[in-house]
Amino acid sequence: DTGVSQNPRHKITKRGQNVTFRCDPISEHNRLYWYRQTLGQGPEFLTYFQNEAQLEKSRLLSDRFSAERPKGSFSTLEIQRTEQGDSAMYLCASSLRAEGTEAFFGQGTRLTVV
C-alpha cells in the first residue's frame, strides 16, 4: 500500500448523468476527507468520515452529492444529475486519528461535464 488511490483518474460525462468516484485510503487510516478543486483555487473541503461515520458535510455538498464509507475502508462520492459547474478535480485524503498527524492526498479524479 503506497498511498491514497483514486479511481477513475479522469471522467467525462454528459450533463444530467450520474457519476461515482472511488477512494481507497491508506490502510489503518480511519479519517477520510473529500475535497473539490477548481482551476486557480485551493482545494475546498466537502465532507469528512471517521471510520464509517460521516461527521461533517460542507455547505458545498448539495443534495445531488452523496458520500459513503460503508465499512470504514474505501469511500465513494456520487454526483447525481451532473451540471457543468460540477466540473472540477475531486480529491480524497486520509489520515490517522492522532495528534498532529499529516493527511495524505490521492492524485484526484478530474471530472468534466459536457
Partner 1 sequence: DAKTTQPTSMDCAEGRAANLPCNHSTISGNEYVYWYRQIHSQGPQYIIHGLKNNETNEMASLIITEDRKSSTLILPHATLRDTAVYYCIVRGASYGGATNKLIFGTGTLLAVQP
Footprint on this chain of partner 1 (rule: CB under 8 A): 4, 6, 31, 33, 35, 40-45, 48, 50, 53, 55-56, 91, 93, 95, 97-108, 110
Cβ proximity to partner 1: between 17 and 41 the closer is: 41
> Minimum distance between the CB of residue 16 and partner 1, rounded to whole angstroms?
27
**Which residues are CB-contacts of 68 (< 8 A; sequence separation ≥ 6)?**
54, 75, 76, 78
Distance separating alpha carbons of residues 11 and 111, to the nearest angstrom = 5
Which one, 7 or 80, has the nearer CB to partner 1?
7
Q: Which is nearer to partner 1, 11 or 31 (CB)?
A: 31
CB of 44 vs partner 1, minimal distance in Å = 7
Whole-number Cα distances in Å, 81 to 2, 19, 76, 113: 34, 8, 16, 10
CB of 28 to partner 1, least distance (A): 15
